[in-house]
Amino acid sequence: MAVIRVTREFRFEMAHALWNYDGPCRNVHGHSYILYVTFSGVPANNPEDPHNGMVIDFGDLKKLVRENIVDKFDHSLMVAGFAPADKVESYRSHFGNVIVSPYQPTCENIVADVAAILLGKMPEGITLHSVKLYETATSFAEWHASDNR
């Protein structure tokens, strides 16, 4: 049976600030992120299976990504945990949903984090193929399983 890739698009709004960056992105600013998550696997081949012909039900894919990624990141402010404590505390006091990450919250690091989160939640028999995160309409970062073996 053929291996098939299935992809779903997600959208969320998130702000971030890049600590110690030498450009304007050091300031708190937001993006309308677009996330593409691609799983791969062999479609079920059992007429008795309600998911016959599917790698994964798109509804299950949606639920997995929404619960673990979108609901966590949407309408949040992400800042690096290595920024000075008083700065992080100031963000916490001014913004309701602050994610203090162990990394600089660049598009590259966020897409790697998304992949790591999803890898820990994968249903049996399905592989995370790739994750693509658009930070702007023309700029994105990608994670591919084939590059990370």
Task: Report pLDDT digits (tens) over 41-81.
Answer: 999 999 999 999 999 999 999 999 999 999 999 999 999 99
Decide if 6 contacts 69 (C-beta within 8 A). Answer: no
pLDDT confidence band for 149 (50 / 70 / 90): confident
Residue 23 has pLDDT above 90, yes or no: yes
- What would the 3-class secondary structure string for 21-70 be? CCCHHHCCEEEEEEEEEEEEECCCCCCCCCCCCCCCCHHHHHHHHHHHHH
Distance from C-alpha of 66 to C-alpha of 62, rounded to nearest angstrom: 6
Task: Report pLDDT digits (tens) over 76-132.
Answer: 999 999 999 999 999 999 998 999 999 999 999 999 999 999 999 999 999 999 999
pLDDT at 1: 77
Distance from C-alpha of 28 to C-alpha of 16, rounded to nearest angstrom: 6
Distance from C-alpha of 36 to C-alpha of 127, rounded to nearest angstrom: 15
Mean pLDDT calculated for residue range 23-30? 95
Tell me which residue range forms the domain holding 106. 4-147
Domain count, the chain: 1
Report DSSP state, residue 89: H
Residues present in the chain in total: 149
pLDDT at 110: 98
Alpha helices in 66-106 (DSSP H): 71-73, 85-94
Exposure string over 61-86, b if 16+ CB within 10 A, otherwise e = beebbeeebbeebeebbbbbeebeee
pLDDT at 6: 98
Mean pLDDT calculated for residue range 9-32? 96
CATH number for the domain harbouring residue 112: 3.30.479.10
